[in-house]
């Protein structure tokens, strides 16, 4: 750094072990038990004075996009939904179906079952986050959405004891499948991958605390053991 850079760069240094600061992150309840937990454990170890505040992502927050990002520190959302904001790839996930235990014999749904059974869908069916529903329609099935919710963790409860099919990211669906009431089943075709990413407003780009938070999120994601995700790199 040149002497002119040092003169004009007046941002305070961020020392994780000494920092007293709160970061607000927005993520879905499917991401919170996965990435949120890993990040909380990392922050507790490296920066015990840093507090994390998690807010629940909703369609009302996602649709406006860039402008409201100024008011939070970061948003976790799959790639392909936002534009014109810097982001970091974190980890991969994939869409799977969940059903009441014992209602699918082979662990594989048939096209007929997918068309006949009612569905529990997350968010609004037209939300771009639901790329899996586009694949279902491309396979010739029009899912009958009997219930919709913005809470992924509610899907297993809305499926249990019924004929409904729920749509969830696999990582959190496997947690739900630890209970005997529901089972994770495959569709007869690939429902698609998710690349979960961290997004932030450009106004935060050079803040030392934000830089540390972004790299902490990457390291937390790497601890999840996703060997299929290429090394994360910042991009705009």
Residues 28-87 have pLDDT tens digits of 999 999 999 999 999 999 999 999 999 998 776 666 557 778 889 999 988 887 778 899
Does 84 share its domain with 126? no
The set of residues, in sequence order, having a beta carbon less than 8 Å from that of 161 and lying 6+ positions away, is 100, 181
Does 49 share its domain with 162? no
What is the average pLDDT score of the chain?
Answer: 86
pTM: 0.85
Cα 234 to Cα 26, 74, 88, 184, 205: the distances in Å are 19, 14, 5, 34, 11
Strand partners, 199: 75, 87
Q: Which spans in 72-169 are helix H?
A: 111-116, 131-138, 155-159
- CATH code of the domain covering residue 114: 3.40.190.10
The set of residues, in sequence order, having a beta carbon less than 8 Å from that of 177 and lying 6+ positions away, is 98, 156, 183, 184
Write out the residue range of the structural domain in which residue 167 sits: 94-193
Does 183 share its domain with 204? no
Does 88 share its domain with 100? no
């Amino acid at each position: 750094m040149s002497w002119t850079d040092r003169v004009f760069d007046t941002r305070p240094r961020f020392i994780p072990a000494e920092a007293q600061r709160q970061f607000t992150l927005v993520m879905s309840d499917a991401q919170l038990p996965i990435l949120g937990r890993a990040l909380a454990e990392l922050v507790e170890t490296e920066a015990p004075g840093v507090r994390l505040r998690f807010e629940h992502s909703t369609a009302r927050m996602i649709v406006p996009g860039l402008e409201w990002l100024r008011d939070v520190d970061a948003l976790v959302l799959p790639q392909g939904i936002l534009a014109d904001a810097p982001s970091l790839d974190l980890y991969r996930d994939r869409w799977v179906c969940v059903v009441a235990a014992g209602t699918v014999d082979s662990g594989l749904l048939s096209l007929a079952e997918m068309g006949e059974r009612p569905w529990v869908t997350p968010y609004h069916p037209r939300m771009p986050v639901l790329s899996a529903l586009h694949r279902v329609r491309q396979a010739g099935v029009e899912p009958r959405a009997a219930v919709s919710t913005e809470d992924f963790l509610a899907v297993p409860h809305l499926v249990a004891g019924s004929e409904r099919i729920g749509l969830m990211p696999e990582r959190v669906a496997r947690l739900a499948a630890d209970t005997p009431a529901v089972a994770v089943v495959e569709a007869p075709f690939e429902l698609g991958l998710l690349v979960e990413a961290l997004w932030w407003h450009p106004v935060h780009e050079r803040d030392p605390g934000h830089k540390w938070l972004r790299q902490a999120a990457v390291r937390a994601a790497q601890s999840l053991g996703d060997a299929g995700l290429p090394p994360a790199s910042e991009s705009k």
